[in-house]
Amino acid sequence: MEPSARAFPVSWDQFHRDCRALAWRLSDLGPFTAMVTITRGGLVPAAIVARELTIRVIETISLASYHGEQEQGQVEVLKDMRPDFKADGGAGVLVIDDLVDTGQTARVMRTMLPKAHFATVYAKPLGRPLVDTFVTEVSQDTWIYFPWDLGLSFQTPILPGRKPEL
């Protein structure tokens, strides 16, 4: 993460609430016949949304655009989904991911499944137009720390070293 980027740490409790909020928003948009989740980030929200919407047919696709911790590059398909999910352009399919950032991954998914409904928990401005449903928008320079990326440790204050005013 570059020094000017904002940090947005998300706890397990908050992420679970946000995933349920996503499911609530999606509940009137279905029914969805199946779900495709983008691994790895989409796995946890997919499990929560699938439970809430009682979706049982779930497929994964593994797309990688981050190489290393925070260096984004070209999107690679590491594991494709079954061909039957692409039938009819993905009509009736719900695509789930944790975040849309620059939109690179979303563009690939839109090409593969143009009729699918694309939903993410979080969205950044560059990628937001590519998703149909999301819960929270964050600024483009915000780095989201998901609960599976974090451990318990001291948090530096937003304005460190500031002296109290009398």
Domain boundaries, the chain: 30-148
* From 13, 18, 88, 98, active-site residue: 98
Where do we find the tokens 């143009």?
114
Separation CA 7–CA 147 (nearest Å):
13
84 is catalytic: no
Q: What is the pLDDT of residue 75?
A: 87
The tens digit of pLDDT for each residue in 70-115 reads: 666 788 899 999 999 998 999 999 999 999 999 999 999 999 999 9
HSE on the CB side for 16, CA within 13 Å?
4
pLDDT for 161 beyond 90:
no
Whole-structure pTM value: 0.84
**The CATH number, out of the four listed (1.10.10.10, 3.40.50.2020, 3.30.1490.20, 3.40.50.300), of the domain defined by the range 30-148:** 3.40.50.2020
Q: What is the pLDDT of residue 1?
A: 46
Local structure of 93: helix, strand or coil: strand
The tens digit of pLDDT for each residue in 106-154 reads: 999 999 999 999 999 999 999 999 999 999 999 999 999 999 888 777 7
Query: Would you place residue 166 in the very low, low, confident or very high pLDDT band (cuts 50, 70, 90)?
Result: low
Separation CA 146–CA 4 (nearest Å):
19
Strand partners, 119: 96, 133
* From 97, 132, 141, 149, active-site residue: 97
Query: Would you place residue 66 in the very low, low, confident or very high pLDDT band (cuts 50, 70, 90)?
Result: low
98 is catalytic: yes
149 is catalytic: no
* From 28, 80, 84, 101, active-site residue: 101
> Where do runs of H (alpha helix) occur along the chain?
12-26, 43-53, 104-112
- Mean pLDDT across the chain: 90
